[in-house]
Structure 1
Amino acid sequence: MKSRINRVIGRAAALVASAALIASCGGGPADDVTTATDAAEEEVPHGYVEGAEETAEAQSRLIVADEETGAVRVVDLITEEVFDVGRVEGVRGILGDGRFGYLTGEESVHVVDGGSWMVDHGDHVHYYRAEARDVGPIAGEEPTNVSSDPVVSAVSFADGTAELLDRARLDEGAVDRLETITGEPHSAATVAYREHLLTSKAEAGSGVADGVEVRSRDGEPVARIEEPCPDLRGQATTRRGVVFGCADGALLVTEDDGAFAGEKIPYPQSESAAERAVEFHHRPLSTTLVGAAGDEGVWVLDVTEREWRHLATGPVVAVNAVGEGAPVLTLTNDGVLHALDPETGEETAQSALLSAEAATAEPAPVIQVDTTRAYVNDPSAGEIHEIDYGDDLRLARTFAVDGRADHMVETGR
């Protein structure tokens, strides 16, 4: 399996080397070099992806699943079309990695290609759209996390394992397992980061993770993060590094010139009675994270400033964060959507969006956010509400799907 991953990485390196060689050739006239370079660019344009259309803006879509019928649909937020992409028997949850939806089914996880995604090169971003489609199942139950890079997609499970999938094959519409990471039983978390994998690690017989291990893309251990993370639960990838939730705060893992390090961001002692965050929500790659603090409110973690803030909101049904300096969004059990100042917790806007019955039903609604809008599902009504959070939570559009809208994740971000 290691050789397969190395071949994938090798092909990418060869393309880069070839481009550099063409650009640096000095044996002939300058015009000849320019012509060769131009011809190569015409043959394979920068950012080209076979079978996909590159666009100038994000092509956001929603993957939506119905628990009663198993129907899975994709809502195109640009064209407003709704596509049927198959059924998943016994569906009861969904995770996403920006392009694919991973739906919990009966004794398996089913992969659906949302057909929209972005490729972040740091100084610029490419956006793509293609046909939404069913990909297929992965053996395993109770997925806890999914994470992808251009080479590997990692699906973690509650039994302490993680399946590593060939990302290029997923892009082509096929599930191809590369390797399985095994470990002590616990709610696992494996995150693809900087050409490596960060995996949760549990001591024998403990049943809970207490730290993070660095592995190569083929699953082989490379190093262990020295900073402990007792009772590790929850993770998020940001532009500043990967955050793992710990009983005593958050562990931020970063990489510098191939070396990985961990930094603890402890909870403030003044709020030590508040329940810890066990999962994080945020706009993809944003450095502002939020999580419920039990029934007392929400935690806001500013990764850039290495600072926690506790907002005393009372119990919330769903929560998400738009980004640095932008509002925190909460949905309360009366069906009201609130916009809160992330520094003070002061309410800046509210909207009576759902009925109390819809807000408190199971499965609970969720809030998905991107750079301009938020999306809140009303499961029983089969509706998704698009909210302009920059305009006092104005209801911009409502999308309807046949049946229920029990589970939802956004792609193309």
Structure 2
Amino acid sequence: MSRPPHRSPHRAAFAPAAIALTLLTATALAGCADADPSGSPAPTASDGVTGDGHGAIAGAQEVAEPPLHLLTVGDDGTVQQLDLLDESVDELGSLDGVTSTATDGRFLFAASSSAGTVDVVDSGYWTRSHIDHFHYYRGTPREVGTLESDGGGEATFSPGTATTGVFFTGSGEAVLLETAGLADGDMTERLRVETTPHTGLIAGVGTGSLVTRADAEGESANHVDLLDADGETIESIDCTAASGSIETVVGTVVGCADGAVLALPTDDGVADLTRIDHPDGTTAPAATSFANREGRPSVAGLAGPTSFWMLDTREQSWKLIDAETPLQQVTAVDDADGHVLALTDDGRVLVLSGERGEILSETAPLLDETTADPSLLAGATLVADQQRAYLNGPAENLIYEIDFADDARVSRTFETDRAPLFLAETGR
């Protein structure tokens, strides 16, 4: 990650209320180890600790509410982070050749298919679950490091609580990064295994991992192997055209052409594998990726031009729902009302019933320019947290905040000084 050029503080407009966003003086990740973006000294474990202090983490400040931020990668590679509380923007540094990104809610994983690399950036904001309650932290944004692969090509990501899986499609290398190591600023690899080059994935489960295995031709994955901590195969399960993984509060999902594999944690530290087949008689295309509000049991994935799958990992059941409008993305909010959010081909955000697929509310078209350019539309991301949804418009130089519980009202609009090609929510 290169040090960004010095820029004087400037202001970006905030719509619709025309409130200004103050851009703080840029601090490169490589040079910010001694201070946080505000210029304050690095916090200590005792600074700002709430409650009895049992959640204290050395080098981090515990705060009273989720420190939600939006992290973007611009068209020139600049990484910026918007504080959703005070609307300040920090420029964190620059990345080269980013072609895809992912996040676990704290770290940004940015792949470059041409270089065969993945850069890891610590946003400095995160939430830790203690099952019955949560702790919220503010630390120091920094570059963690770069993961490399010979002949790597594009990378697929499987973010999780304890690990993040990175699979290089060009080389077939599958790497499991430890979250605890990343938090210490180290690229700690729990496991690295060699497989046949294919569009595959690796996902951590307990002390082990799930790794796809290609057929003889090496073009697609038709099996999912459960590996132990040493990379030895414990179990294998059929999963034709394995694609897409997501960690839920119940277990880890890998999509298959006719359903999914669910890995359920066990007392011995690894997992049990079970198949969740599509309902009999359904012929809809399988979901190749899944999305949800983090920490919930239900996930959603597209099932053709106008339909989507809902998978309840707790009930181990599928629903096929027709929204009767062309869709680009879906994500399961999985709240008390069972909302599903969708981005349409014409750039509207829909709030859908997760039971019937009916449109409960919708925005006007928000991405007129972006939808006209498929290469830009591929980077538009719809992400939901407990109260709001966010959508980046790369061609519009905008980020939208949407109150999906209030008739899909656009509650805030943030202008950006660069095209926000990629978006991630951090602090959650």
Q: TM-score, normalised by structure 2?
A: 0.80
* Equivalent in the alignment of 1:13: none
Counterpart code for 2:123: G
Mean Cα deviation higher: 315-324 or 174-183: 174-183
* Equivalent in the alignment of 2:132: 123
Mean Cα deviation higher: 81-90 or 169-178: 169-178
2:250 and 2:180 mapped to 1: Cα distance?
26
Q: Is the 8 A contact 2:176 2:202 kept in 1?
A: no
Q: Is the 8 A contact 1:61 1:75 kept in 2?
A: yes
Q: Is the 8 A contact 1:333 1:356 kept in 2?
A: no
What pairs up with 1:145-160 in 2 under 5 angstroms?
145-150=157-162, 152-158=163-169, 159-160=171-172
* Equivalent in the alignment of 1:76: 83
Question: CA shift at 1:211, angstroms?
Answer: 2.5
Which digits, 9 at most, give the CA deviation of each residue in 1:293-318, with x for residues without a partner? Answer: 12132112122222222222242122
Which digits, 9 at most, give the CA deviation of each residue in 1:213-265, with x for residues without a partner? Answer: 23334x4225114x421111011111111111001111111123226322222
Which digits, 9 at most, give the CA deviation of each residue in 1:267-311, with x for residues without a partner? Answer: 123431x21111101111211111111213211212222222222
Distance 1:383 1:131, change over 3 A: farther
* Equivalent in the alignment of 1:387: 402
Counterpart code for 2:209: L
Which digits, 9 at most, give the CA deviation of each residue in 1:120-139, with x for residues without a partner? Answer: 22222221112323333211
2:185 and 2:289 mapped to 1: Cα distance?
30
2:211 and 2:131 mapped to 1: Cα distance?
24
Q: Is the 8 A contact 1:115 1:133 kept in 2?
A: yes
Counterpart code for 2:73: A
Distance 1:135 1:260, change over 3 A: closer
Distance 1:262 1:166, change over 3 A: closer
* Equivalent in the alignment of 1:229: 239
What pairs up with 1:207-246 in 2 under 5 angstroms?
207-217=219-229, 219-225=230-236, 227-246=237-256
* Equivalent in the alignment of 1:66: 74
Question: CA shift at 1:169, angstroms?
Answer: 3.6
Counterpart code for 2:386: T
Mean Cα deviation higher: 287-296 or 336-345: 287-296
Specify which of 146, 150, 171 is matched with residue 137 of structure 1.
Answer: 146
Question: CA shift at 1:353, angstroms?
Answer: 4.2
Q: Is the 8 A contact 1:198 1:212 kept in 2?
A: yes
Flag structure 2 segments of 5+ consecutive residues without an equivalent.
1-48
What pairs up with 1:157-172 in 2 under 5 angstroms?
157-158=168-169, 159-172=171-184
Q: Is the 8 A contact 1:60 1:410 kept in 2?
A: yes
* Equivalent in the alignment of 1:260: 271
1:329 matched to 2:341? The reply is yes
Q: For residue 86 of structure 2, give the secondary structure of its aligned residue in structure 1.
A: coil
2:262 and 2:398 mapped to 1: Cα distance?
37
Counterpart code for 2:293: R
Flag structure 1 segments of 5+ consecutive residues without an equivalent.
1-40
Counterpart code for 1:51: G
Question: CA shift at 1:351, angstroms?
Answer: 0.8
What pairs up with 1:28-47 in 2 under 5 angstroms?
45-47=53-55
* Equivalent in the alignment of 2:109: 102
What pairs up with 1:337-356 in 2 under 5 angstroms?
337-356=349-368
Q: Is the 8 A contact 2:348 2:362 kept in 1?
A: yes
Q: For residue 411 of structure 2, give the secondary structure of its aligned residue in structure 1.
A: strand
Q: Is the 8 A contact 1:160 1:183 kept in 2?
A: yes
More helix by share: 1
Number of aligned residue pairs: give it: 367
> What fraction of aligned residue pairs are identical, expressed as a percent?
33
Question: CA shift at 1:177, angstroms?
Answer: 4.4
Distance 1:170 1:345, change over 3 A: same
* Equivalent in the alignment of 2:258: 248
**Cα RMSD over matched residues?**
2.3
Q: Is the 8 A contact 1:142 1:157 kept in 2?
A: yes
Q: Is the 8 A contact 1:287 1:304 kept in 2?
A: yes
1:146 and 1:305 mapped to 2: Cα distance?
22
1:149 and 1:175 mapped to 2: Cα distance?
16
1:87 matched to 2:94? The reply is yes
Q: Is the 8 A contact 2:206 2:271 kept in 1?
A: no
Question: CA shift at 1:340, angstroms?
Answer: 0.7
1:148 and 1:266 mapped to 2: Cα distance?
24
* Equivalent in the alignment of 1:401: 416
Q: TM-score, normalised by structure 1?
A: 0.83
Q: Which runs of 4+ in 1 moved over 6 A?
A: none
2:65 and 2:281 mapped to 1: Cα distance?
44
